[in-house]
Amino acid sequence: MRFRSGPLRPVVSTLLAHAKTLSLADDVTQYLRSVSSLLQLGSSVRTLDASLREFLVRRNERALKTVVAVVDSLFMLDHQADDSCSSENWKRYTKEDLAEAGSYVIHCFDSEIGLRDVHFIFMDEPGLIAGLYHKLLVKACKIRAFLGAEILVDAFDYRCSLRGDVVRVKPPYLNSK
């Protein structure tokens, strides 16, 4: 559904508003609060995803090889993450996070355009020099983080809270604290 959270938000809000009347257990209410936090991010994640896909469509003749080369270079140069950087800066992310982001980009490329040998011939040197591909990987890192948070909340009893533009995902053993 490509991060379309709009229809679910009022449903979850209504369930939370009537949690006592419905006799929802505390763990169910906490889960719904986490889901509500994730749903609030849905439109932002949808915008990132749409932007990423539009970029790939516009630059489809050279984008795929360029993304693969950028990710490969991170391992060749032994990139180390810098936590002091903003989440908008690719240097903040580990090479493994950026590789997962590259995998997501390839998935999007395949679903939008389809993978063919011709996509591995040319690189987008001007886009690479302008930093467009590192920005693309940052978008994909953020999308992957969102997808990871969804899995943690749905499958492993993690809790998610949103304060302003900061998302916190806590493991179950910290939920009681």
Walk along the chain (177 residues) in steps of 10 and give the mean pLDDT of each run: 78 88 89 90 91 96 96 96 96 97 97 94 96 98 94 92 85 69
49's tokens: 């995803």
Q: What's the confidence (pLDDT) of residue 175?
A: 60
By CB atoms closer than 10 A (0-12, 13-18, 19+), residue 142 is buried
Q: What's the confidence (pLDDT) of residue 1?
A: 55
Give the residue extent of every domain in the chain: 8-174
State the amino acid at position 93 in one-letter form. Answer: Y
Q: What's the confidence (pLDDT) of residue 128?
A: 96
Q: Give the 3-state secondary structure of residue 172.
A: helix
Q: Give the 3-state secondary structure of residue 2.
A: coil
Q: What is the DSSP letter of 1?
A: -
Q: What's the confidence (pLDDT) of residue 163?
A: 86
